[in-house]
Every structure is written in C-alpha cells, then in structure tokens.
Amino acid sequence: MFKNKNPFLSGLVVMAVISIITLLPLKKVITKQYFTSFQIEYIVLSTKMFLIFLSGLLLVKKLEEQALSGISSEYQWSFKYINLIPFYLFILGILGFIGKDLLSINIINVLLLLIACLLVGFAEEFVFRGYLQPIFIKKYISHNNGIFLGVLLPALFFGSSHLLNLTVNDNIPQVIGQSIYAACIGFFFGVALLKTNKLIPIAITHGLINFFFLFGSLPKLINNKNGYSEPTLTEQILSSATPILFFLPLLIIGYIILSKMNKNEILNKINL
C-alpha cells in the first residue's frame, strides 16, 4: 500500500493533515491566568508540532524505507561535515540580538522556545524528508534527473506548507518569502539526508536554525515599537526578499553535492 503511493497525492494528504493540526484552536484551552501570551503561543506550537512529528514518525515506519528515510541502523552517519554547512545561519541569527540585555530574559521562555523549535525541526523533517522524499525518489529514480526531482518536489511541498502562515500573518510578501527560503533549505536538507544517511542530525540542525532566528522574539528583546509605522508594500517586499539571499547558497551547495552523487548509492537504499 505505502510502497506504491502516488507522491503528489501523498503530498496533498500531508498538507491536509498539517493544515488540520495547525488550525486546531488550542489557545482556547489554555488560561492566561498562569501563562504569558508568549508562553501560550509556544506551548500551543510545541503541542501541534509534537502531533505532526508523531504523524510523520508513524508514516515513516509504515513506509518501510528506513534507509531512504535516514533512520536505518544499517547505514552509518557519513559526511558529517554537511550538517555544519548551515552553521553560518546560526551566526546570522546570533547577530540579531547582540548588544541586547540578555540578563533580562526569562529562562523558562528560552527553554520553551528551544523545545518548540526542536519539535518544529523534527516534525517537518520526518514528514517532508523522512516520509515524502522517499516516495518521490522511488517514483522518479528511473527518470533522467530523477534524484533531483525526488529531492526538489518534496522541498516545494515543504515551502508551500509555510503559506499556512497566512492564517496568522497578513504580511503576504513576508509569508511568500518564508515559503521560498524554506524550499531552498528544504532542498539542501533533502540532499544532506541522501548523503549523510541520518535524519535526526538534520532535524536538530533545522530546529537550532529556527531557535537562533527566533531568539530575538523573546519578551524584553523585542524592539520598542514607539513611533512604529506600518511598512509600505515596497518595504515589505524588500525586507522579505533579503532573507532569501541568506538561504540561496544552501540551494546552490545542495545542487552541487547532488550533481556529484552516484545514482547507485541511492538505488542500493531503495526497498524494491
């Protein structure tokens, strides 16, 4: 059943499941009497991401493509340096809160943010790289550029999933920008999975990137908005396009690594 799935149908089902979980009104069951707005937001996010992760883990197990999914003990963790390539994104994230009063931060908020971000990493990697990517690879492996398509198409689904942010963010250029750079890094992670054989290190890297980029959103680190004016559409587009330049190198590096990959390496992992 799972071995012969239509990859596009599987992608649509995945998107539907993520949409349903994402839109669950969990905020209504958490009282503000005990938690701040920030804590409620990230408790809800953690809960939803945990549900998506469980769904992804179940799908990966049912798929029975442990090698392609990066959870097989048969294949060693190789080319570990690839997981360090996105390290420059950590630095960019850190630069965003240099000079701010870190001593004023509530450690509970930091831990909550870290847990939520790691759960996002595990949820998205298990669903898109662990489950969806093997289905696309099996579908296209016999075609010219089949491996490229097998990595690119799940990455596009991954990028498209970020359009769900339009339900909570009316800055359309920003959300579209998120979708584009998510697709770029999704492609890189897909290639990294094929080359390193392990999904969990990629999920951790993914989560830490989110953590460092969102660290500046912690209460007491957010810039004072006195005198704040709503940005124009042009300003929104420019501010949304800039992050894409940070993630574009990962797309290029991923493509270079993929172009040098031996197709037999992938064929040997497929459960025929």
pLDDT at residue 226 is higher than 80: no
Q: What is the DSSP letter of 43?
A: H
Percent of the chain, pLDDT > 90? 66
0.85 cut: is pTM over it?
A: yes
Say what the alpha-carbon torsion angle 153, 264, 256, 180 is, to the nearest 10 degrees. Answer: 10
- Per-residue pLDDT of 76-97, as tens digits, reads 999 999 999 999 999 988 887 7
pLDDT confidence tier of residue 32, bands split at 50, 70 and 90: confident
Length of the chain: 272
List Cβ<8 Å contacts ≥24 apart for 145-149: 147/194, 147/258, 147/261, 147/263, 147/266, 148/255, 148/258
pLDDT at residue 225 is higher than 60: no
Q: How far apart are CA 78 and CA 265, in angstroms?
A: 13
